[in-house]
Amino acid sequence: MDFGTIFTRERLQAAAVAATLALASPAVAQDYPSADETLDWTIAFGPGGGNDIMARNIIDILTKYDLYPGDIQAENRAGGSGAVGWGYLYTQSGDPYGISTTSGSFVTTPLQADTPWQPEDFTPVALLTTDDLVLVVNRDSEIQNIEQFIEHAKANPMNIGGTGTVNVDFIVPTLFAQKAGFEFDYVSFNSMSEQTTALLSNALDAMVGNPGEILGLIESGDLRPLVFSGQSVPDALAGVPTMGELGYDIGVSMPRGLILPPDAPAEAQEWWIETMKKVVETPEWGEYIRSNTLTPTVIYGDEFGAFLSRTKNGFGEVLRSVGAIQ
């Protein structure tokens, strides 16, 4: 079969999916979006990170299936753990052509920094997936499973590495330790590569990380996964228990979703809700979820807004309890 045949088949398949998606939901206001307006897509972190990957996957799907009629301009506006990018979106209040994706820092950054915005200020579109963490040790560690880890940690507190200071990487092991009855020292790193190097060189006892970022090292056997913080284990971590299965459910996940500026028009919010219902049904979105070992968790509109409020309150309670914030 030649490349022309393959290309034609793929285009026909894409067209078939697009036709199905077009019938998947009722129409909303016809004057939004305008093909003459460029969508200003803010990515609040640098290229290559989880937030960037998700945003560009959504944009690719919107483009492939002609779900957005105009041009989309994606720009990385990194800085301040998301404060710069989401601060920019905040200044676009009322503009239906500003948009951004969220992550755990969308909740934790305003808890620890004096940002002019709070998660509740923005117009919620959808929670699309959650990003959970796996606790791992070096393959040379004598610890073979999570039961042994807890036993060792109770006898001699360990150090656990994570990316950032006051964020999900800190909150997850803190809650787990409280529930399992052990203590630990948290070691903060600026990047996953730094903390992975520290663990592989035995400068750390353990670390937490998103499985999508360290899956290669898990599959190669360089890192041994012990426990997963999510409600269900992705296929790539089959056999690894969840914290909930051990009786230590912490109820914390990193919310990866979609938001519009504050006070965005209702028709824009509704259009994006209906459009994201189509996006999450595409095979490309399924592949994104699978390849990044994410947990599909989809809620829309005000329900997503309520989720963000609960998450912020929960994170704040934990951080105040350990003296990380006032």
Q: Whole-angstrom Cα distance, residue 191 to residue 279?
A: 30
Where a domain ends, among 207, 237, 267? Answer: 237
Please give the residue range of the domain that contains residue 138. 134-237
Whether residue 33 is preceded by a cis peptide bond, meaning omega within 30 degrees of 0, is yes
**pTM for this one?**
0.76
pLDDT, tens digit, 9 for 90 and up, residues 99-145: 999 988 899 899 988 999 999 999 999 999 988 899 999 999 999 99
Same domain, 117 and 203: no
Most confidently modeled range among 102-106, 160-164, 204-208, 321-325 = 204-208
| pLDDT, position 155 | 95
- In which element (H, E) is residue 195 found? helix 192-200
Going by pLDDT thresholds of 50, 70 and 90, the confidence category of residue 208 is very high
Of 100, 33, 12, 10, the C-alpha closest to 271 is: 33
Asked whether residue 245 is domain-assigned, the answer is no
- Look up the CATH number of the domain holding residue 315: 3.40.190.150
Same domain, 259 and 127: yes
Asked whether residue 246 is domain-assigned, the answer is no
Question: 189 burial class (0-12, 13-18, 19+ CB within 10 angstroms)?
Answer: buried
